């Protein structure tokens, strides 16, 4: 199996809680986020503590199971339990509208509960949890199969460019686009990975670079607008990205900037691959025109968020930080609209800062995703194998019998 070094699991179930790595604070702070309620999982999703299409599908399933094991455990009426589970699943699915895996995970849990309701409520609750755990296990297995298929497309000495983070952190474990790279690296095929920083939240610089370093894969971090330059110099052999939703015709929604990379790749004769499990394919959408594009907070563009750990150098400094955090998190007053919050966790002091980089009171447009037309996509790598044009045919074949979204309707 491909080596991921010390990369931890992304999201899992433990002691009646949903646990995850808080990705919003990586790589400088590696917090474990423990969710005791499904609302806590929803907040983690909307705040991007957990992100990436496959990971969101797992998060949805585990959130439904968490509700079933907590609030649902006090419900005695089967019909009421099923109706409430449906409402909870719908609320989870609505937290981020573009990621189809989120809807897929929620819909699969709804369908499973109703399909197995005849066993009775007492027997159904543990089955709901088992189904959520199965979804998590299936995701890792899909990603490993996808990685093996994708690695076969690369030649020894390949220099691969990737965008955003479609690694282990974006899945239950192993990754999609980075899963291909991890598998290819184990086969000795990777000479270098070019990592786009991925503005505005810097998932490439923060997360992909962190994963590749942990896994021992050679890489170089670049700014988003360097891609054309290194392509023109002949330094890129393939582009591999993940996906948040793929329409029936092969149109791909992914992190903003993906479409531009696809256009550049075609202009320079470089293959452009999309790596995604069948759960990311939405055959209910004829084309990418029907994909709802999430728009995020303008502060992601007008400022930079930084998290870190403060290490007092003297006992006097330690006492000072103890005093200001004694009553809880401390909000530090700053000029120019900058913000900083300091919190004490155990013997450490952590800070979260937002630093303004743009003038105040300006218009900002911040779509989280764009749609790449199918004509720019060389191939789509799934756990079933490689789908190529005509995608209306190949994707339907790849998704047949996998429990993709269209089969849950």
pLDDT for res 408: 58
Instruction: Give the mean pLDDT of the chain.
Output: 94
CA 78 to the chain's CA centroid: 34
pTM for the structure as a whole: 0.90
pLDDT digits (tens, 9 = 90+) for 290-304: 999 999 999 999 999
pLDDT for res 406: 58
CA 346 to the chain's CA centroid: 29
Q: Count the alpha carbons within 13 Å of 40 in the hemisphere toward its beta carbon.
A: 14
pLDDT for res 6: 87
Specify the range with the lowest mean pLDDT, choosing from 76-90, 96-110, 321-335: 321-335
Strand partners, 161: 194, 239
CA distance 74 to 17: 17
Closest C-alpha among 63, 23, 24, 22 to residue 40: 63
Q: Is there a contact between 257 and 214 (Cβ–Cβ < 8 Å)?
A: no
Q: Is 22 a catalytic residue?
A: no
* Catalytic pick among 139, 186, 196, 244: 244
State whether residue 372 is helix, strand or coil.
strand
Residue 82: is the preceding peptide bond cis (ω within 30°)? no
Cα radius of gyration (the chain): 22
pLDDT for res 282: 94
Specify the range with the lowest mean pLDDT, choosing from 250-254, 314-318, 359-363: 314-318
pLDDT for res 317: 86
State whether residue 230 is helix, strand or coil.
helix
Greater pLDDT, 100 or 31 = 100
Q: What percent of the chain has pLDDT over 70?
A: 97
In the chain, where the domains are located: 11-143, 146-291+368-407, 299-356
Closest C-alpha among 261, 270, 4 to residue 159: 270
Residue 165 above 80 pLDDT? yes
CA distance 132 to 138: 10
The domain defined by 11-143 folds into 1.20.120
CA distance 200 to 64: 31
Strand partners, 245: 253
Give the pLDDT mean for 257-278: 98
Phi, psi for residue 274 in degrees, rounded to 5: -115, 130
pLDDT digits (tens, 9 = 90+) for 235-244: 999 999 999 9
The domain defined by 146-291+368-407 folds into Rossmann fold (3.40.50)
Residue 69 above 80 pLDDT? yes
């Amino acid at each position: 199996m491909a080596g991921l070094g010390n990369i931890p699991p992304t999201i899992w179930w433990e002691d009646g809680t949903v646990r995850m790595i808080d990705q919003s604070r990586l790589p400088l702070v590696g917090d474990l986020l423990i969710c005791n309620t499904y609302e806590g999982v929803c907040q983690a999703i909307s705040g991007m503590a957990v992100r990436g299409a496959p990971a969101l599908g797992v998060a949805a399933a585990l959130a439904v199971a968490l509700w079933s094991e907590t609030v649902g455990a006090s419900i005695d009426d089967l019909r009421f339990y099923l109706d409430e589970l449906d409402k909870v699943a719908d609320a989870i699915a609505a937290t981020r509208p573009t990621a189809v895996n989120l809807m897929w995970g929620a819909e699969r849990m709804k369908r499973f509960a109703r399909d197995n309701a005849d066993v009775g409520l007492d027997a159904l609750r543990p089955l709901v949890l088992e189904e959520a755990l199965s979804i998590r296990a299936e995701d890792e297995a899909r990603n490993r199969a996808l990685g093996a298929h994708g690695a076969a497309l690369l030649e020894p000495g390949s220099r691969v460019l990737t965008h955003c983070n479609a690694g282990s952190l974006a899945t239950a474990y192993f990754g999609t686009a980075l899963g291909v790279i991890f598998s290819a690296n184990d086969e000795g095929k990777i000479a270098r990975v070019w990592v786009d920083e991925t503005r505005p939240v810097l998932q490439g610089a923060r997360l992909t670079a962190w994963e590749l370093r942990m896994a021992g894969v050679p890489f170089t971090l670049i700014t988003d607008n360097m891609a054309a330059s290194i392509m023109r110099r002949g330094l890129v052999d393939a582009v591999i990205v993940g996906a948040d939703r793929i329409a029936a015709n092969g149109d791909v929604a992914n992190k903003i900037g993906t479409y531009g990379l696809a256009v550049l790749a075609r202009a320079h004769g470089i293959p452009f691959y999309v790596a995604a499990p069948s759960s990311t394919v939405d055959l209910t959408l004829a084309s990418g025109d029907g994909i709802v594009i999430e728009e995020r907070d303008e502060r992601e563009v007008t400022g930079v968020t930084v998290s870190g750990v403060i290490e007092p150098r003297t006992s006097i400094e330690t006492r000072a930080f103890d005093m200001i955090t004694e009553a809880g998190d401390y909000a530090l007053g700053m000029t120019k609209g900058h913000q900083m919050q300091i919190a004490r966790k155990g013997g450490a002091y952590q800070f979260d800062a937002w630093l303004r980089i743009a003038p105040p009171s300006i218009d900002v447009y911040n779509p989280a995703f764009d749609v790449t037309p199918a004509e720019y996509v060389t191939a789509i790598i799934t756990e079933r194998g490689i789908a190529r044009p005509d995608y209306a045919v190949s994707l339907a074949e790849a998704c047949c019998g996998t429990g993709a979204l269209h089969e849950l309707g």
